[in-house]
Amino acid sequence: MNHPMRRDEFLSEDNSNHVAGNVPGRPSLRFSLLAVLLSLVYLAAVQLTIGLRPEHVFLVSLFDVGLLAHPASGRVMRALAIFLVFGILYDSLKIVPNYQVAAVDIEGLYNLELQLFGIVDSGMPRTPNEYLHAHASAALDLISGLFYLNWVSVPILFGVYLYVVDKRRYIDFGLVFLLVNILGFIGYYLHPAAPPWYVDQYGFTLHTGVFGSAAELVRFDRLVGLDIFQGIYTRNSNVFAAVPSLHSAYPVVVLWFAIKQLRHKHRSAYFAVYMMGIWFAAVYSGHHYVIDVILGAAVAVAGILLYEQGLLRIPAVRRWLARYERSISR
């Protein structure tokens, strides 16, 4: 193990009972009632704020059933609680859109991108997005689309792998993922910003009622004959969340934990290629500027450092992590 501290430092004195097989059984009636009550309170809060949708009821019901039905499913749901918190926080961003909190950066970000990373093409300065748009190809459409399709699936599958082979490392991965998202969400509110495709379609004028766009990814949809990205992005009602690029942050987190976890370090090269592919696709697709990608990677590094060099040094956090690990282990 390559944890920042020795594994035994995270285990409390009663860990011998866990090792001997004294694991929690079915939840008590009190715990069950509390779980159901909190679920109902959450659903009521959602109804009063952003409006209750069928998927809210389905996911909450699924979580409660899994948590309470059997010890094995309960362990899985406790492990997934990290990502449940992420989902709740992400959904809550709709309560107060970031463009109502601070001014949206449209023209300033575009001009800064042009100044820092502009490319002269046919005598005209262009942003990297504009340059790639002018020199697009079916091959690049396919490659970028395939990479962007996996910006969610690869972190999920890697998380599943960690859960199977090393529960503690899974917790670290999940909490860093959550922390990076929280930092990204803060960035959304401190600096609302329009993506490149917005400038291409609407110029520098602020329109708060527009929905998301698949942008250049629509060409991938045409290649495969499916409305994959159009179906995903046209549902997004807040398009001013381009800085930092969390699409670009997630691969950094995956690569970091792959380097720490994989016994054969050269296999981490696959995740490095994945990271670079996501970064290229973010710019090629018109969803992010190079600036967004750099800031996304920086947020990932900040989240990793904050967790490993900050939170893990707090004794109370270490004790909580030990209890959490036991609660999701056999």
Tell me the mean pLDDT per 10 residues along the chain, length 330: 43 36 63 92 94 93 93 94 93 92 97 97 94 95 94 92 95 97 97 96 93 92 91 80 95 95 84 96 97 98 97 96 93
Could you tell me if residue 11 is left (phi over 0), alpha (psi between -120 and 50 degrees) or otherwise beta?
Answer: beta
Residues 82, 171: contact at Cβ < 8 Å?
A: yes
Residue 169 host element (H or E):
helix 167-190
Quick check: pTM over 0.75? yes
Decide if 24 is inside a domain: no
Q: Which domain holds residue 305?
A: 99-327
Cα–Cα distances in Å, from 224 out to 48, 135, 152, 215, 229? 40, 20, 20, 16, 11
Beta bridge mates, 119: 126
Q: Which alpha helices (DSSP H) does 50-166 contain, by range?
A: 54-69, 71-92, 107-117, 128-134, 138-165
Q: Residues for the chain: how many in total?
A: 330
Decide if 275 is inside a domain: yes
* Inter-residue long-range contacts of 14-21, CB under 8 Å, 24+ positions, other chains counted: 15/322, 15/326, 18/326, 18/329, 21/330
Residue 61: which of 89, 40, 83 has the closest Cα? Answer: 40
Residues 197, 213: contact at Cβ < 8 Å?
A: yes
Decide if 285 is inside a domain: yes
Decide if 257 is inside a domain: yes
| Domains identified in the chain, total number | 1
Looking at residue 245, what is its pLDDT?
Answer: 96
- What angle do helix axes 246-261 and 167-190 make, rounded to 10 degrees? 160
Beta bridge mates, 120: 125
Decide if 118 is inside a domain: yes
Residue 165: which of 74, 258, 256, 252 has the closest Cα? Answer: 258
Q: Using CB atoms within 10 A of its CB, is residue 330 exposed (0-12), middle (13-18) or buried (19+)?
A: exposed
Decide if 80 is inside a domain: no
Per DSSP, 105 falls in state: B
Q: Which single residue is written with the structure tokens 């079915």? A: 26
Beta bridge mates, 99: none
Decide if 31 is inside a domain: no
Could you tell me if residue 58 is left (phi over 0), alpha (psi between -120 and 50 degrees) or otherwise beta?
Answer: alpha
Euclidean distance between CA atoms 247 and 121, whole angstroms:
28
